[in-house]
Structure 1
Amino acid sequence: MTFLPPLDIKGRLSMALALLTLSTISVGAIAWYGLDRANTQMQALHSQTLAQVAKSLELSKRSSDIATSAPFLLNYRSQYLIDREGQSLITTLEHIVSNWPSQTGGASSPIYAYEAEISDAIGQMQAATKDLIGSANGLNYERNVTQIRVDSIRKLERDFYGHAIADDAIDGDRSTWFLLQALSNALSGAAHSKNLLGVGEYHRRYQTLLTQMRNRSLRQSQTKAIARLAWLADGSQGLFEIRRRELSHRLAAQNALFRIRLQAVYISDLSARFAENAENFLSQGRRETSNNLDVIKVLILFGGLLSIGIALASAFFVSRYVTANIEAITHAMVRLARGDRSTKLSLKISANDEIAKLIHSFRKFRATTLRLDRSNRQLKLKNALFERVFGNITDGVAITSEDGRITAVNDSFANVLKLSHGEPIGNRSLDGLLAQTVFAEDVPDCLRLDAFEGFSVLAGSDGSIIEVRHSPLVDGGGVWLFSDATERKRVEERLTQIRHIEGLGKVSGEVAHDFGNVLSSITANIHLFERYPDRDKAQDFIDRIKNATEIGTSLVQRLLAFARKQALAPELLDLTELIEGLSDLISVGLKEDVCFETRIAPSPLMVKVDPGQLENAVLNLCINSNQAIDQSGKIVLEVGQDDNGNAYIEVSDNGVGMSNNTKERAFEPFYSERSDGSSGTGLGLAMVYGFIKQSGGDIEIDSAPEKGTKIRLILPLASPETVVPDFSAQELRALVIEDNPSDRHLAERLLSSLGVSAHSAPTYSDAEAVIVSQEGFDLLISDLHLNDDRLAWPLIEQALQTRPGLSVLLISGHMPAHHPFQDANKFPTVHCFAKPLNSEILIDILSSRTSGTD
């Protein structure tokens, strides 16, 4: 067989199949023609497309080489070399554009070649290269000029030093020469500074020293030396200006280098995308060829049945060549897989067939295995570093899988969570493990993976506190960090307590001061009343005493509002309607130069709130805004609905605004810093704050000095099903026993809004007279503590005896823990509540009575 030329396996099989042409001449000729044509098309497709891909990759490499070699332009000291190398870079870029695969180039036309993108990228790279050449030439020129200046400065520096150390130099001249040397040192420092900040610093130092020199008495030689230094340092050709231009050229060159690298990366990306397009085009060609081959296979099948005998003989011929080589390759692969990295194949295959490709693949696989060995060694070093960091960090660290189970923890994890030593941790769920620690009570709300937002705090039953942080991993797991914050939280709590005690002390002092004034006024007028019993003067004293008591009552009501303990009568009302009715009253009380504007929502906003207190709060805010405007200004009162579905009232002005300190303390009682110089009680905003909080709302302040102030009151909207019941159809009557006029009027107003007729008894004796009479009523409302320090227990007992089934509501600010009616089974119609009275309590009691459950 030596007379045959070297053939690949496919060629040898073709020779064997040629022997079958006598029996399969018709089918074989057609089949062979089809196979040969398909093979020719594939080879042509591969050769043309892969050649263009190779060309695009080569051009991508050239652009990368340009980005690599461009920085060396900055190292040349000759303008000729810079221009020559720069022109070489530009020529290379033009070569890239001219040799890039064309989209209209015959067989490659179906492949999108990114010609426009390449042209734009090359254009930008050419512009950046030209900028780099210009900056490099400028930098080279300025460096040469700087060097000339530096040589002159060094010579002067040596001369100054020689004069300074001369034996015949007197002390005054010696210090002057040393000062001149310091001037030259400043110039030398500026010449060698690496940035503009350094040059500026040396320039300031030079100017300072020069000022000192000009204040001295100088010799003629010293004056000439100063003039020489000034010529070297100042002006457009002075050292400082030259250095500024040199560093500016350097920055421009670095910017051009960055643009060159950026476009080189972009060209490489376009080459990769072009290769991907070519691969897709080749895949389409292979599919079309495969379809053609399927048709040919059907024809070959008929001829194959007649050729089985000859094929078996041909297989023996091929097996002598294929089997031996494959066996050798297999043995080498086995040895390589067992760790023998010295394994090599010494087979010499002259033909470029599949066996040769397999041997070549084995050699590539062996080279890849050696690279993997090196990578594994590097990975082990990195893992060792990670383990040292992971093990020595003081915070507890846990790594969890996608399903929340712990896969790894560090040594500090058990200490931070106070776990017992030896307790198994691995493969347990994190929340399950925490449920067995002192932090178990906080775990269900804090560490639900679907609700956890990355940070939370856990409080332990032993008082310890830890901070929990979570970072998700790409595979769905996560990293958990547990930090012990117990000591820091204790310090913060102590600071909070100190501030709270300080605030209470201030409130107590201010209240004592104001009540002292009230009591002093009452005491003085009582003394005058006793001294001058004349009827006309006595009435004047009584009026003064009433005025003082009203001031004290107002102060108490404001304190109750701040403490959120005032008596409220919430009603279901339309917020827009209330503000529209209040706007006229507000506008009357403002300054003439203050413009007042209202912005009311078009649709009703139903809220449940005390209308009187709300009007008082809005008036307070508008009055504060009016006082914050020095001359002319504008106040805007806006009512609307925010993004969270809550109603809001916003009062904004363009007054003097608040400082950060004032804004932080705005809600403190007795704190006032009015810009108009008037003295206020400091309870206005505190009262508004208490009322809004007691009504279930919130308050926000946005203010800055000279920017104005914006205060927003936020109230929850009443639910659509909220309906105030009306009991007027039942014709219910109620007796109200209350010695406090304010609380008595509140109860009457609440009953009237519910359709209940009310009769009031302001004293114990009045109430007793009504109960003894035959007057009928269905509900008794009484305060526990009445006038003359008398309690309401006997009145309630007497009313229950004379009116069986009577509903009783007892209210008090100091309800005792034990009382005669605390047995609910024995007295089911007696209800005891703490002040203040509200509509919800009345609705519940009246509804129970009308439904027969009371």
Structure 2
Amino acid sequence: MPYLSNLSVRFRLSSALAVLFGLILLVSLIGVLVLNRTELWMNVLHKDTLAEVSDALDLSRESADLATSAPFLHALFPPFQLGQEEEKVVASLNRIEALAAGNGELDLPVARLRFAIDDLTSALKPQTARQADLDAIDRDMVRLNQRVRRLAGDTALPLEEREVWAGLQQLTASAIGAGRANALIELGDFSLRFTRQRSQLLPQLLPVHEETLTEIDQATLRSDNLFALKHRDLAARLDAENALFRIRQEVSRVSTFAEATVAQAEARLSLARAETSNNLEFAKNVFLALTAASLLVAITSSLYVSRYVARNLHLIAEAMRRLAAGNHSTVLPQGPNSEDEIGQLYAAFHVFRESARKLERRTRQIGHQNALFSRVFRNIKDGVAIAATDGSIEAENDNLRQLLRLPPAEEGVRVHVQELVAKSNFSRRTSAVEHGGFEEYADPAGNVLELRRSPLPNGEEVWLLSETTERKRVEQRLEEIRRVEALGKVSGEVAHDFGNILSSISGNLHLLEAADSEEARHLHTRLRSALDLGVSLTERLLAFARKQHLEPQVTDIGLLVEGMADLLEIAVPNSVSMEFEIPTEPVLVKVDPGQLESAVLNLCVNAGQAIGGDGHIQVCVTGDGGAKLSIRDNGSGMSPDVLRRATEPFYSNRDDGSGTGLGLSMVDGFVHQSGGQLSLTSQTEGPHRGTTVTLCFPSLADESGQSDNLVVPGTALVVDDDPAYLASASATLERLGYVVFRAASFSEGRAQLQQQPRLDLVLSDLNLDNGASGWEILQLGHSLFPECRLVLMSTRETHRVPRALVSATRLATLTKPFTESMLRKLVASS
């Protein structure tokens, strides 16, 4: 209203003080009433807390009962006892759920309790029938084992028949071990052993053995496959133990919560009672004192305001009006020498006057800076855009659209930076995370742009677009130079190693010219060591050059991957899950199984490293249109440039520089050496984000019509200072129909050669006792028996043939360890 604006400040302050006094009296009265009601509220709180404590105690008691009852489920196998105990446990859980209703902290533990109890009962219910089947299979296998053991020890039977009975005894022993295994890894070992032993026995079976093998097969397939049945039994036990552990853990959490609730309630009650009593007494006294003080303050303030504050405020207001009108030379008379508000107002006026003068100077400076920014914004070589909080471009320079090869902007049309990029021919190659904060874009012509976004405090953004085509080309040339330098370094180190080997050979050859027989033998040993070192170095170079020695065998890819499942799950991070798709029919190829296992492990480890957090890896084996092994992950994927160079030697895309660049290169070399192909597909975005590596091998031709029984029996001499290999090779030749003479040393081998009137085969190890060489045994055998078949055994492939044996037409080498099939084919060839 108009007449209020004419009232003086003194009148207004006096009126305000009077109103303040009345409000203080009212607050005092209200405070006393509120404090009295607070005491009544504390009594109600006390009663509610007692109810909360009672519920917490009931919850703790029910949790203890559940923790006591749950382990009995694991110890009971009869179904009726299991059902009764399950009803008790479920009843306890229902009471816990009723007590925990409405409490958010207990929702998760109670839900986990129910899941754990369900898992426990689900795992235990089929155990009785499953254990009965396992016991029946075990009894049958023990009976069959005793029978074949008796027949294997019957000396009246032919040796060949007893060897097969001994093999059947090992087969039944493996089945018994599998049925009594206490761990999944132990069961897997017995399963692989049973399969291998059975496949080895099949070619040796005689009609007398077929009925026993049929009984063994029928016993293992009783009710279900023995190994699958035992696997489910062990898995059920692990599930039950896991469920019991979870039950104890969640019950402990519920009990801890109940104890904490009781403790908190008790502490809350005690503290509330003490504080309320003290506050009530103190508040009553304070309110009375404030009431008295308010009267004194009101009277004193009225006098102070009227004589001191109002007059000085009037002077300051007049001076401020003149200052606001632009009169920066306005001055105030000498103010009071005090630190109160009036004194501060006098000081603030002088500060305001100086600030007004500085503001005028600062305005001129800002105008100059804006002009400078405008020149930089228009003339910078990079494209610059300023985007509003909604992402639309508020301002941009001309170079932005020129770099994107787009026409100038239309008047009044606001677009987003992403929309401009989408309209251009540029597509993203790397994200900001992959490229140190920059997004990299390229067009079909090879032009490369870097796009960076910088947020501003008010939510707006500054976008910077730079041309990096020439820099990328220089980086590619530098990368090529680095790869050439790496190859040069490898070549230099290899040359250094070969130089050392040649120096050792040259020095020992000079010493050999003047050495006696004993020293010459020692020098021969050193020369062979140097040559073996050269052979080893050559093999490593061949592996690097994708020409390593392979030992292809008929291999079931599905069975090989299934056997590696546990190893692959350990090799990848815990956050990555493994999924296997393996057909029931065998997928047979002819490859080196050891190299194939190494390739699969290498690819799965790389896939696990490409997944930053949670993810999965899928291993799929198919036999349609040839054998295919695919490994797919949902990791970060590879850009087209990285994908194109992924199999190059020494190329690595790891940011930390830890990669050697040989992993995929070696896998690619192995696949091509095995007659197959490697294909790579990868995406960095979209629902199919990730990488798929597919190994394709030619399908195995049916060789069932070929006969391996081409060996013509004869007389053979086996020379090896290793008792295990000596016994293995001799037993294999005996099974092939040879009459075998054994020699466990070089001297014994020479003696056997000179004693025998006729030999059809001489099989000798390369490195014999006391530094002797198997080549000497073969030279002596060739001189005594020119038509004899000569075979040299060694742990590595060798091509160094002595001059005396160059003319030998029936000379061959055999790499250790060897199989019966390898030896059969070697001695059968002419």
Q: What is the TM-score when the length of structure 2 is the normalising length?
A: 0.31
Length-normalised TM-score, structure 1: 0.30
